[in-house]
Amino acid sequence: MGNPSSTAQSYAAQHRGDADHYATYFAGMDASMQQKVALTTAHFPTRGRLADMGSGSGRGTYDLACLYGGLELVGVDINPVSVDMAASSYQRPNLRFVVGDIADPVFPPESLDGVLDSSVLHHVTSFNDFSLARLETCLDNQVRALRTGGVIIIRDFVIPDGPEEVFLDLSETDGASDGPVSGLSTAALFERFARDFRCSVNRNGPVPYTRLASPHAGHVRYRLALRAANEFVLRKDYRTDWDVELLEEYTYFSQAQFEASFRRRGLRILSSMPIRNPWILANRYEGRFHLSDTAGQPLPFPPTNYLIVGEKVPPGAGVELREEHSAPLPAPHFLSLSAWRHEDGRVFELVERPGRTLDVLPWFRQDRQVFVLAKKGFPRPIVNACANHPNLGGAALSGYITEPLAAITHAGEAPDKAIARILHERAGLSVDSIRALGESVRYFTSPGGVSERVSAYLVEVAPTTGLPAPDYGPFTSSGSVRELDARQVIRACHVGGMVDARLEINLHRLLRHLGTSPGPWIGAPIQLTEQSGGPPWAQDALVPGHRVSFSLHEEGTTGYLDLRTGTFSERDSAGHVLASVPREYLVPREASRNTAVALPVVRTREGFRVGIEHRELPVVQHFTGSASIAVSPAWRLPRTLTHLSQVPAFIAERLREEFSVSVRKAWELGGSYHATPGVTPELVWPFAVEVEAGSAEDPRLHWVPLEVLLGELDGVLDAHLLVVAWRLAHALGVLG
């Protein structure tokens, strides 16, 4: 194994014919390039040298080269036909293509700033006798080629988590029972697959299964391993190249195996997330098969892809922040908990940390693009607290995230002085580098329970490259300050590649301020049906009045919120503890750490209208003197919900009970996010919810044209409403 000539011969089995056949094949693959480029550029540096491993058609490599003239792109592919086609089709001064086996040491040590493996590593195992050893060698060589601070991104398939065996119900009436693959029913295609498919699990014989009667009319039920079921549903629609697809084992690592593989190589995981492509779910999964456990309970669809991002850290540096111990906090030292009584008798709890939160987003233009400076790899261990709470999407973080430059300020410090201090202390920028200071906006990060109002500033600075960030915390590193492409970071939020809500909000504000389009939406497509009539425009939708409704509740707290202290260890690649740090944080006592935010929307002949709720909250009164605030409907989710696929039904029930509206459909509105990771591990899942126009007349919802809402966003105080409004407008093309 690994001999160049024999390896090339084994990979030659992938050859798909002449140039026309390749063009057809790559045309289908290139449909995902927008997502690939967004996820890549959100994490990779915009200068240096980047290798696109298994570059195929070269289109994605070319797109990156076009975006950044200062980034040298090298596309690597073992197939000479692909390399010749890419080199002739895509030409730029900062772009080249080479023939090479990506598992071999193609580049010298410490010579790359980024490595991208997009849908290619399963070829390394499949065409090397399903050898995980060859894969390990491949990863060793690629990480060795990275400079310290360099980033490797893998986007491929993943062994799904779940029960070992499942029921898979497939139609036997949607095609023939025998004959060419192109005309087979799904059930007959599965049996052909089971007969012919070979992989690491069944190298020398067919896929084991038991054929059973199905409770679904016109279907056959198969009992088999979940991994085998996933291998089938991932490829069932690729019938044109069926024989070639059978040569590939798509899944080779579980998410846990990917993460362990990265950590032991000294890679700090910036993102690890199963991906469920919404187009594939809607067009190839929903209604095409039924998946359940062996008790007959429906299971969520397995991931269609997987993404993991790792940053190479110096030897001995931390790669993971892990909660080792958690306990109730009877006497807080940093956080404080108070209770506030509404005039109607309800009691609300608030948690607060000392000082005031100030966000700074330095930005500059260069080469007709907009760049921002942000903290990359900043330690936020609280995002990994409460591992026993369900993680609806399966995403995992190392505890190091990308966020705006931020600090806690105190009364008496003028904003311009505070901003200059933060830029110097947190980014190493001098006062002379500041060109212009924008007006601040203020909003509440999580107004239901966290007494925190952010003041956010856009600051134009002189163009600069990444800067070392001074270490000012108890962990071994405070990350780095890096330049990021503003538009690509926003688009990465659409698919869960970035998780900080405040960074996203500030980026949208910046692009609007500059009159710059954020580019195409790459999240789930939202298709609304025009309805007659529609809810009337409530002129007071964004101005809910002025009421003083709360007083301090002297009897104490109710026990809804749970203040805890966690001990978080920082560990290196060998698992050695480098630091052990206590952190106070907040979670609900009974509910999960997950929150669903749902923005109701109706499409009428006049345009799009969204429904806004008016609430009275003590945190708003504390800062503004009025308890009233316009928000997007939101709910803490119960711990009984264990997967994201269960959330739309929960939202529909809550909207019906609380606002008497009937839901037509709910869409995931981009990836989940953290609103205030310094206080709580709360993870927020945003949704756009189309409702029946005829049911949208309950006075508890206040309807406003989406364009009007966009024009007034600087006055919106709810961070969740800011996120969903920007994302919905982006998804519907209202942002341009």
pTM above threshold 0.85: yes
Residue 265 falls within a domain, yes or no? no
288 falls in which pLDDT band (50, 70, 90)? Answer: very high
Closest CA to 100 of 133, 59, 163, 53: 53
pLDDT at 282 over 90: no
Question: What pLDDT sits at residue 485?
Answer: 86
The two tokens of residue 621 are 């009164």
The two tokens of residue 241 are 């190249």
Which residues face 359 on adjacent strands?
Answer: 406, 456
Residue 40 falls within a domain, yes or no? yes
Question: What pLDDT sits at residue 7?
Answer: 52
CATH code of 385's domain? 3.90.79.10
Identify whether residues 207 and 136 lie together within a single domain: no
How far does the chain reach from its first CA to its final CA, in angstroms?
Answer: 52
Question: What pLDDT sits at residue 4?
Answer: 43
Identify whether residues 213 and 169 lie together within a single domain: yes
Identify whether residues 178 and 216 lie together within a single domain: yes
Identify whether residues 118 and 183 lie together within a single domain: no
**List of residues 6+ apart from 708 with CB closer than 8 A:** 537, 542
What is the rounded CA–CA span in Å between residue 665 and residue 591? 25
What is the rounded CA–CA span in Å between residue 549 and residue 192? 68
**Given 487, 516, 548, which residue is the final one in a domain?**
487
Identify whether residues 462 and 372 lie together within a single domain: yes
| Helices then strands, each counted (H, E), the chain | 19, 33
Are the CB atoms for 716 and 542 separated by under 8 Å? yes
Identify whether residues 103 and 183 lie together within a single domain: no
22 falls in which pLDDT band (50, 70, 90)? Answer: very low
Residue 639 falls within a domain, yes or no? no
Residue 386 falls within a domain, yes or no? yes
**Given 452, 487, 522, which residue is the final one in a domain?**
487
Residue 26 falls within a domain, yes or no? yes
Q: Could you report the per-residue pLDDT of 624-645, keeping only the tens digit for each?
A: 999 999 999 999 999 999 899 8
Residue 712 falls within a domain, yes or no? no
Identify whether residues 103 and 179 lie together within a single domain: no
pLDDT at 101 over 60: yes
Are the CB atoms for 340 and 617 separated by under 8 Å? no
Mean pLDDT of 419-436: 90
Identify whether residues 333 and 407 lie together within a single domain: yes
Q: For 76, which DSSP code?
A: E
Identify whether residues 228 and 113 lie together within a single domain: no
pLDDT at 461 over 70: yes
Torsion over CA of 118, 466, 318 and 507, rounded to 10 degrees?
A: -70
Q: Containing domain of residue 11, as a range?
A: 4-156
Mean pLDDT of 458-469: 80
Question: What pLDDT sits at residue 33?
Answer: 59
Q: How far is C-alpha 337 from the geometric centre of its chain's CA atoms?
A: 31
Residue 587 falls within a domain, yes or no? no
18 falls in which pLDDT band (50, 70, 90)? Answer: very low
When the pLDDT of each residue in the chain is averaged and rounded to a whole number, the result is 90
**What's the CA angle centered on 682, arms 681 and 686, to 5 degrees?**
140
Q: For 203, which DSSP code?
A: S
**Given 210, 245, 280, which residue is the final one in a domain?**
245
Q: Could you report the per-residue pLDDT of 216-275, keeping only the tens digit for each?
A: 999 999 999 999 999 999 999 999 989 999 999 999 999 999 999 999 999 999 889 898
pLDDT at 552 over 70: yes
pLDDT at 24 over 80: no
Residue 236 falls within a domain, yes or no? yes
pLDDT at 26 over 50: no
Closest CA to 424 of 461, 455, 399: 461
Find the helix or strand (DSSP H, E) in which 623 lies. helix 618-624
Number of domains in the chain: 3
pLDDT at 502 over 90: yes
Are the CB atoms for 228 and 209 separated by under 8 Å? yes
Listing DSSP states for 449-513 in one string gives TB--EEEEEEEEE-----EEPPP-SSSS---EEEEEEHHHHHHHHHTTS--BHHHHHHHHHHHHH
Identify whether residues 373 and 394 lie together within a single domain: yes
Judged by average pLDDT, the poorest of 31-40, 194-203, 507-516 is 31-40
Identify whether residues 170 and 68 lie together within a single domain: no
Identify whether residues 221 and 345 lie together within a single domain: no
395 falls in which pLDDT band (50, 70, 90)? Answer: confident
